[in-house]
Structure 1
Amino acid sequence: MSLYDFLSYVIMPALSISTLLVFYRFIIGPNVMDRVVALELLISIGIATITVFSIVSDNATFLDVAMILALIAFLGTVAYSYYIEKKEKNE
């Protein structure tokens, strides 16, 4: 089994199943914090998918896209955490 077969037949289905499960948690999540964690995980799964596609297509440009997406996701999570902390302080 080559690397490309492993990525196509094992990793991509695992990422697809995990995307469905996390999206379910994102929709049904009992509170806002669960939804934020699920959104962060969805973005991480998207980054993993972009990375796998970059390896399969042998195009390193997609890795730049994945790094930018990771930076935006991190900054969004930090901003939301800051917002929640300020909201709890005011209450």
Structure 2
Amino acid sequence: MMEKVLLVSLMLFMIAVALLLYRVIKGPSMPDRAIALDTIGVNLISSIAIVSIVLKTKAFLEAILILGILAFIGTIAFSKYIERGVIVERKSSR
């Protein structure tokens, strides 16, 4: 019974990721796209956790940690790009 619930929740997470991809592509504004990308990262972390529970292994925990860090850094970089137009500011030599 528990395995069926986990598989259904995994399918729902994948449907949510597909809908969020649509939001990233057709989003009305750049902040909406940034939020959709961040939410995709959270849903992927949750999906990997469910797969780890279904397979009864701890092998995916490192992948969850790395994906969480990368999703956070990506969200910060995208937000900075929206705000200023550049990600890395370079000092001029003048």
Query: 1:40 matched to which residue of 2?
Result: 38
* Whole-angstrom distance in 2 between the partners of 1:33 and 1:45: 18
- Among 64, 67, 76, the alignment partner of 1:66 is 64
* Whole-angstrom distance in 2 between the partners of 1:83 and 1:24: 21
Q: TM-score, normalised by structure 2?
A: 0.79
Whose helix proportion is higher, 1 or 2? 1
Query: 2:91 matched to which residue of 1?
Result: none
Would the alpha carbon gap of residues 16 and 83 (structure 1) be closer, same or farther in structure 2, given more than 3 Å must change? Answer: closer
Q: Does 1:19 align with 2:17?
A: yes
Q: Which runs of 5+ in 1 are unaligned?
A: none
Runs of 4 or more above 2 Å deviation: 79-87
Shift of 1:76: 1.7
% of aligned pairs identical? 38
SS at match of 1:60: coil
The answer as to whether partners of 2:34 and 2:79 remain within 8 angstroms in 1 is no
Q: TM-score, normalised by structure 1?
A: 0.81
Q: Which amino acid aligns with 1:4?
A: E
> What is the aligned length?
85
Q: Name which of structure 1's ranges 46-55 and 13-22 shifts more when overlaid on structure 2.
A: 13-22
Shift of 1:50: 0.7
Q: Which amino acid aligns with 1:48?
A: S
* Whole-angstrom distance in 2 between the partners of 1:77 and 1:17: 22
